[in-house]
């Protein structure tokens, strides 16, 4: 059944190692991606450019502005002198936030009356907008509470919500992205290289030569899969190594469990790679089809954006992507130290998907090859 497999594996390894540039690129791609996602992409908002129109210019208004500055979120770049200038700064994009303190702010507060402050926010970047808004509101509430005299404060029934981060206490984005990246890279490499390895033989005409040889379909399929399975696992470990020693993202849980579940995951991406190779006639086509699968896998799997906030139809599409479940497993094991008992659901879905995709691949392979 597996006739000819060793011959195919022998040849694939020669071809993989023949061109040192290919090897370097294959090991470099994950590292470059790691650097891009680990360093450059940062969802944490800091130093938002802010202009101030302080019409009050009192002790109270300056104290309020100092509070803003102390958060680190707002970078108070300068003062303007009119409300049209304030708006112009935001429209031009020079600032994202404008704070206006009306005349009489300090006097109203001193007199025990409510005072108002206007914060203009550029809503075009929703991440920046929502963070600057909530911080400004929190600041206002906190100052209001402090102004209530201690005597009345003790009588007030305040709800004290205290939050504590269990994992990733510094909320570093590398900790969030790096485990996700392991999944995306493993998916990319195994799917793309497997489909390339077969389509290349079609383009060369060697597939015909193999078809007249006694190589069995099983032997051909496994011979094509196993080298790239090994390559994918090596790449995953390269990424894990860099994650640990460059980005200080430790693996909280068990490494053998992670490797084992990665192996289960890889079967579905190898299956997809095989299916692509039965559809595509050229390596370019294989690449385009791979990207059609890869793009949703990057954007919808929860690698970058949380799945929970997706619209329902998109949420269901994301449920069809194997990467989605592997991302859960990766973050579970690497960040939360989850064990097998917490990952049964994801493992079951991945196993089912892998078997289904491999079955479809085998069926299609049988029809198109030979």
Partner 1 sequence: MARTAEEPAIQAEALTMRFGNFTAVQDVSFDVAKGEIFGFLGPNGSGKSTVIRMLCGLLRPSGGHGSILGRDSTREAEAVKRSIGYMSQKFSLYPDLTVHENLSFYGRIYGLGPKLQPRMDAVVEQLHLAPYLRRSAGALSGGWKQRLALACALLHEPRVMFLDEPTAGIDPVARRELWDFLYELAGRGVTLFVTTHYMDEAERCNRLGYIYLSRLLLLGNPDELKGDPRVTPSAARWLEAGLDGSEAPMERLSAMPGVEDATIFGNTLHLLADNSVDAAELGRLCGGLDFREGAPTLEDVFVRLTRLAEREQRTS
Residues that bind partner 1 (CB under 8 A): 3-4, 6-8, 10-11, 14-15, 18-19, 204-206, 208-215, 370
List, in sequence order, the alpha helices (H) in the chain. 5-18, 20-35, 59-70, 83-91, 105-110, 126-147, 150-155, 173-204, 206-211, 217-245, 255-279, 283-300, 312-319, 322-334, 344-368
Q: How far is the CB of 214 from partner 1 (least distance, A)?
A: 5
118-121 β-sheet, strand order? 74-79, 48-54, 97-101, 118-121
Q: Closer to partner 1 at the Cβ: 6 or 130?
A: 6
106 or 223: CB nearest partner 1: 223
> Nearest approach, Cβ of 210 to partner 1 (angstroms)?
7
* Spatial CA neighbour of 276 closest among 228, 239, 343: 228
**Residue at token pair 């049964």:** 344
The label of the residue with tokens 């090596």 reads 234
CA dist., res. 240 & res. 181, Å (int) = 10
- Shortest distance, position 196 Cβ to partner 1, whole Å: 13
DSSP 138-185: HHHHHHHHHHS-HHHHHHS---------SSSTT--HHHHHHHHHHHHH
How many whole angstroms separate alpha carbon 224 and alpha carbon 312?
A: 38
Our CB check for partner 1 shows the closer of 85 and 211 to be 211
From the CB of 232, what's the least distance to partner 1, in Å? 21
Instruction: Name which of 182, 189, 265 is nearest 26 in CA terms.
Output: 189
* CB closer to partner 1 out of 7 and 337: 7
Smallest gap, in angstroms, from Cβ of residue 370 to partner 1? 6
- The closest alpha carbon to 1, from 309, 303, 281, 219, belongs to 219
- Minimum separation from the CB atom of position 209 to partner 1 (A): 4
How far CA 101 is from CA of 88, 118, 125, in Å, comes to 17, 7, 24
Q: Taking the complex as a whole, how short is the minimal distance between the CB of residue 95 and partner 1, in angstroms?
A: 57
Cβ at position 218, least distance to partner 1 in Å: 13
Pick between residue 208 and residue 250 the one whose CB is nearest to partner 1. Answer: 208
Q: Which is nearer to partner 1, 210 or 358 (CB)?
A: 210
Q: How many CA atoms lie within 13 A of 182 on its CB side?
A: 34
Helices 126-147, 59-70: axis angle to 10 degrees equals 130
Nearer to partner 1, 258 or 369 (CB): 369
Q: How far is the CB of 314 from partner 1 (least distance, A)?
A: 40
Residue closer to partner 1 (CB basis): 23 or 171: 23
State how far the Cα of 50 lies from the Cα of 43, in Å rounded to an integer: 19
Cα angle vertex 81, ends 76, 82, to 5°? 110
Nearer to partner 1, 210 or 258 (CB): 210
Rounded to 5 degrees, φ, ψ at 118 are -110, 130
| Ramachandran quadrant class, 364 (left: phi over 0; alpha: psi -120 to 50; beta: rest) | alpha
Taking the least distance from each CB to partner 1, the nearer of 14 and 312 is 14
Rounded to a whole number of angstroms, the minimum distance from the CB of residue 6 to partner 1 is 6
The first and second tokens of residue 255, run together, are 């490494």
């Amino acid at each position: 059944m597996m006739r000819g497999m060793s011959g195919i594996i022998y040849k694939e390894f020669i071809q993989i190692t023949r061109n040192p540039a290919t090897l370097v690129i294959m090991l470099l791609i994950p590292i470059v991606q790691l650097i891009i996602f680990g360093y450059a992409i940062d969802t944490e908002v800091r130093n938002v450019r802010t202009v101030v129109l302080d019409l009050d210019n009192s002790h109270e208004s300056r104290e309020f502005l100092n509070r803003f500055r102390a958060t680190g979120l707002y970078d108070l770049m300068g003062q303007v002198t009119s409300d049209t200038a304030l708006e112009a700064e935001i429209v031009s994009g020079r600032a994202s936030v404008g704070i206006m303190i009306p005349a009489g702010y300090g006097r109203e507060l001193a007199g025990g009356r409510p005072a108002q402050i206007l914060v203009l926010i550029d809503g075009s970047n929703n991440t920046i907008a929502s963070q600057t808004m909530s911080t400004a509101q929190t600041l206002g509430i906190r100052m209001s509470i402090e102004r209530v005299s201690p005597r009345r404060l003790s009588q007030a029934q305040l709800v004290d919500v205290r939050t504590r981060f269990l994992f990733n206490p510094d909320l570093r984005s590398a900790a969030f992205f790096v485990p996700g990246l392991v999944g995306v890279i493993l998916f990319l490499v195994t799917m793309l290289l497997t489909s390339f390895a077969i389509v290349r033989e079609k383009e060369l005409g060697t597939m015909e030569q193999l078809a007249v040889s006694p190589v069995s379909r099983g032997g051909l399929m496994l011979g094509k899969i196993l080298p790239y399975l090994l390559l994918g696992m090596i790449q995953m470990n390269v990424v894990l190594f860099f994650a640990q020693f460059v980005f200080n993202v430790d693996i909280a849980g068990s490494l053998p469990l992670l490797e084992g579940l990665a192996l289960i995951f890889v079967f579905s991406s190898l299956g997809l790679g095989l299916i692509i190779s039965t559809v595509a006639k050229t390596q370019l086509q294989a690449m385009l089809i791979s990207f059609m699968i890869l793009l949703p896998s990057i954007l919808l799997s929860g690698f970058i954006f949380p799945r929970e906030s997706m619209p329902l139809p998109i949420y269901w599409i994301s449920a069809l992507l194997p990467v989605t479940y592997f991302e859960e497993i990766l973050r579970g094991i690497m960040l939360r130290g989850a064990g097998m008992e917490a990952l049964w659901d994801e493992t079951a879905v991945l196993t089912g998907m892998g078997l289904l995709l491999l079955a479809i691949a085998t069926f299609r392979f049988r029809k198109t090859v030979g």
